[in-house]
């Protein structure tokens, strides 16, 4: 939910969400090209945009980037380290019983490239989540004429998530205050009650929300006045320029490290 | 033209689980008066309000708006809901939109107004409810009091003739209750019909022109605030406390300190003494 807060408060908030989404998506596609240079550049450009222009604190951004690193490292290890390698072509190796275990030049490139590509794609996702509120994303989806029912559902689920979290938290605090989580078995019991209460409450909340909406003239479509963002030629040119450069670099250097 | 903006005649209502929430209730809401509806929990206040804008249809009896019987077809109900707005008790089950501006725009959008007109109405409603500075804030990051005011703005933006507040001061701190009462007064002065339900006899006594007391789905008593709250028998039946100011003035009268005067605020009391 940290991300959500930044999405509303960052300095890139008022840029047309369509422009931001286009930038993120196009850059993501370029990030698929296996080039360490273009991927590295994507990571740097997005970090600069989010931190320098969007004013998201450096520490927060680094912490967010570190999250996928843990998963990545775990999954890259098997690619990086090989068994039964030919000692001649390895960079580092040791012999374990009768087989050689080591890192080859090839496996280093392969895992390095995978790492950079993953981080570049993650950067693109963070760019969107840190600069664009869900509601703006939904507004763009509306413009793209996605089915209303799908969009309205996303909208309500997103909104109810926060209401439910508030409720869950206050119940948890109340249970905890009465030692509801003091032992393992009472904890399980309390948690069960919390969940069943949340389900019942969601149903009655839904009924009430419906009544309130009908009172305000709801007739099956959740219409609100979407904020109007100005499309900026400057931004579009900038996005096109950055992505063209990235694409050229990706195509020229794709696949190998010289 | 009727003297009553809203009327019910022997209205009965039963929820699907057979709870008889209204058991033949007849009452009238006089035009231009500040109305308070009182009654213990479960008395049927909220159920009554849902009849006022046609959300619920009486099982028996009739409902009138401005002297004409309410019809339950889509066209009539759309018109009725445009004229009778309800601010419900829990803001979390009313607010659905992302930002305050979007939330407030929902009603006017349903009235199928032009975008510019919607914008004007939203801005005016936000100003009247005191939430202008929150316009672009996401609704899930608001405080309880702020959400409450957003709900009020959401109803105001439809520019209804009648605004019903279902327990508006519940869970509000004294300061915000006081601000809210100011808002209610302003609405009344601007010519809106304001109907409020509350548990708070002090609030009812000092604010209302006319008090309706409901119990077990029936009208127990109705009349001016002085008349209703001076009837100890009725108060006992309805499980209501006597308003503090009324109690004080009765004691003062018994002791012969003041004449037959009924101050509605502490300031008025001081003025008399
Ligand atoms: N949706 C519902 N389904 C079943 N019973 C209900 C429902 N809403 C209210 N009731 C019941 O109807 C009666 C009147 O409720 P309500 O109008 O909410 O009272 P009040 O607003 O005065 O507290 C209560 O007994 C309540 O339990
Ligand atoms: Mg109620």
**Which pLDDT tens digit goes with each residue over A79-118?**
888 777 776 777 777 777 777 788 888 888 888 888 999 9
Boundaries of every domain in chain A: 1-132+228-258, 145-226
- Mean per-residue pLDDT, A116-145: 89
Residue A258 pLDDT greater than 50, yes or no: no
Let me know: does B113 contact B122? Beta carbons within 8 Å.
no
Nearest CB to A217: which of B78, B137, B138? B78
What is chain A's mean pLDDT, rounded? 86
Ligand nearest to the CA of B16: 1
| DSSP structure string for B43-102 | SSHHHHHHHHTTSS--SEEEEEETTEEPP-SHHHHHHHHHHEEEE-S-GGGT--SSBHHH
What is each CA distance from B262 to B34, B96, B266, in whole angstroms? Answer: 17, 44, 11
In the predicted model, residues of chain B with pLDDT beneath 50 are none
Type and span of the H or E element at A52: none
Ligand 1 in reach of B43 Cβ (< 6 A) = yes
Nearest CB to B122: which of A156, A163, A225? A225
- Beta sheet of B162-166, edge-to-edge order: B84-87, B162-166, B193-197, B35-38, B210-215, B218-224
The answer, for B53 touching chain A at a CB cutoff of 8 Å, is yes
Mutate to test the interface with A, among B75, B112, B137, B140 (most CBs of A within 10 A): B140
Band of pLDDT at residue A255, cut at 50, 70 and 90: low
Q: What CA–CA distance (Å, rounded) separates B173 from B145? A: 9
* Buried-state track B152-183, b at ≥16 Cβ within 10 A, e below 16: bbbbbbbbbebbbbbbbbeebeeebbeebbeb
The fraction of chain A above a pLDDT of 70, given in percent, is: 97
Which among B37, B40, B41, B44 is the best mutation to test ligand 1's pocket, defined by most ligand atoms within 8 Å of the CB? B44
Q: Please name the residue of chain B whose CA is at the shortest distance from the CA of residue A224.
A: B106
Quote the minimal CA–CA distance from A229 to chain B in Å.
Answer: 13
Band of pLDDT at residue A257, cut at 50, 70 and 90: very low
Ligand 1 in reach of B18 Cβ (< 6 A) = no
Protein residue closest via CA to atom 12 of ligand 1? B21
Type and span of the H or E element at A80: helix A58-80
Please give the DSSP secondary-structure letter assigned to residue A231: P
CA atoms within 13 A on the CB side of B3: 3
Least Cα distance to B21 among B12, B10, B32 occurs for B12
How much is the pTM? Answer: 0.80
Please give the DSSP secondary-structure letter assigned to residue B133: G
pLDDT tens figures, A15-32 = 899 999 999 999 999 998
What separation, in Å, do the N-terminal and C-terminal C-alpha atoms of chain A show?
42
pLDDT for the residue numbered B185: 92
Please give the DSSP secondary-structure letter assigned to residue A226: P
Least Cα distance to B21 among B1, B43, B6, B37 occurs for B43
Protein residue closest via CA to atom 18 of ligand 1? B46
Quote the minimal CA–CA distance from B118 to chain A in Å.
Answer: 8
Ligand 1 in reach of B56 Cβ (< 6 A) = no
pLDDT tens figures, A174-233 = 988 888 888 888 889 899 999 999 989 888 888 899 999 999 999 888 888 887 778 888
Q: What CA–CA distance (Å, rounded) separates A29 from B170? A: 53
Nearest CB to B94: which of A8, A135, A212? A212
Quote the minimal CA–CA distance from B184 to chain A in Å.
Answer: 19
Count of CB pairs separated by less than 8 Å, A with B: 100
Give just the sign of the alpha carbon dihedral B65, B71, B74, B75.
negative
Q: Which residues pair with B86 in a beta bridge?
A: B164
Ligand 1 in reach of B38 Cβ (< 6 A) = no
Mark yes or no for CB contact B92/A135 under 8 Å. no
Residues 105-144 of B with CB under 8 A from A: 105-111, 115, 118-119, 122, 136-141
pLDDT for the residue numbered B77: 94
Ligand 1 in reach of B45 Cβ (< 6 A) = yes
Ligand nearest to the CA of B212: 1
Q: What CA–CA distance (Å, rounded) separates B103 from B125? A: 12
**How far away, in angstroms, is B228 Cα from ligand 1 center?**
24
Nearest CB to A225: which of B82, B115, B141? B115
Band of pLDDT at residue A2, cut at 50, 70 and 90: low
């Amino acid at each position: 939910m940290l991300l959500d807060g930044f999405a509303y408060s960052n300095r890139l908030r008022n840029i047309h969400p369509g422009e931001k989404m286009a930038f993120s998506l196009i850059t993501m596609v370029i990030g698929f090209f296996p080039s360490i240079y273009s991927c590295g550049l994507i990571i740097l450009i997005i970090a600069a945009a989010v931190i320098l222009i969007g004013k998201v604190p450096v520490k927060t951004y680094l912490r967010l980037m570190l999250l996928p690193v843990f998963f990545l490292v775990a999954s890259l290890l098997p690619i990086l380290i090989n068994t039964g390698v030919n000692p001649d072509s390895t960079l580092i190796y040791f012999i374990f019983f009768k087989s050689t275990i080591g890192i080859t030049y090839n496996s280093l490139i392969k895992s390095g490239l995978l790492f950079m590509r993953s981080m570049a794609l993650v950067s693109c996702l963070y760019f969107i989540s840190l600069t664009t509120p869900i509601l703006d994303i939904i507004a763009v989806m509306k413009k793209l004429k996605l089915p209303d029912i799908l969009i309205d559902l996303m909208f309500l689920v997103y909104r109810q998530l926060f209401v439910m979290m508030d409720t869950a938290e206050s119940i948890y605090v109340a249970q905890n205050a009465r030692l509801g989580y003091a032992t393992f078995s009472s904890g399980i019991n309390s948690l069960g009650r919390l969940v069943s209460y949340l389900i019942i409450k969601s149903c009655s909340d839904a009924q009430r929300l419906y009544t309130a909406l009908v009172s305000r003239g709801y007739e099956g479509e959740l219409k609100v006045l979407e904020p109007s963002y100005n499309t900026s030629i400057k931004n579009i040119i900038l996005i096109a320029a950055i992505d063209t450069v990235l694409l050229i670099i990706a195509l020229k250097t794709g696949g190998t490290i010289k | 033209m009727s003297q009553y903006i809203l009327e019910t005649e022997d209205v009965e209502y039963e929820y699907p689980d057979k709870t008889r929430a209204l058991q033949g209730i007849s009452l009238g809401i006089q035009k231009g008066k500040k109305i308070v509806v009182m009654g213990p929990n479960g008395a049927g206040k909220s159920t009554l309000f849902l009849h006022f804008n046609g959300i619920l249809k009486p099982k028996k009896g009739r409902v009138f708006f401005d002297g004409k019987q309410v019809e339950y077809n889509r066209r009539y109900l759309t018109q009725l809901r445009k004229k009778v707005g309800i601010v419900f008790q829990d803001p979390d089950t009313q607010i659905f939109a992302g930002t305050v501006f979007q939330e407030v725009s929902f009603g006017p959008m349903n009235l199928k107004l032009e975008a510019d007109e919607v914008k004007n109405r939203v801005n005016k409603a936000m100003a009247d409810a005191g939430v202008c500075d929150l316009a672009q804030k996401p609704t899930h990051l608001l405080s309880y009091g702020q959400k409450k005011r957003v709900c009020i703005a959401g109803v105001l933006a439809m520019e209804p003739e009648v605004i019903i507040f279902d327990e508006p001061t519940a869970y509000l701190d004294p300061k915000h209750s006081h601000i809210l009462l100011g808002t209610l007064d302003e609405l009344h002065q601007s010519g809106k019909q304001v109907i409020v339900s509350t548990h708070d006899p002090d609030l009812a006594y000092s604010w209302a022109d006319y008090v309706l007391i409901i119990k077990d789905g029936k009208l127990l008593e109705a009349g001016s605030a002085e008349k209703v709250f001076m009837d100890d028998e009725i108060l006992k039946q309805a499980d209501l406390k006597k308003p503090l100011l009324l109690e004080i003035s009765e004691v003062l009268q018994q002791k012969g300190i003041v004449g037959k005067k009924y101050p509605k605020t502490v300031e008025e009391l001081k003025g008399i003494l």
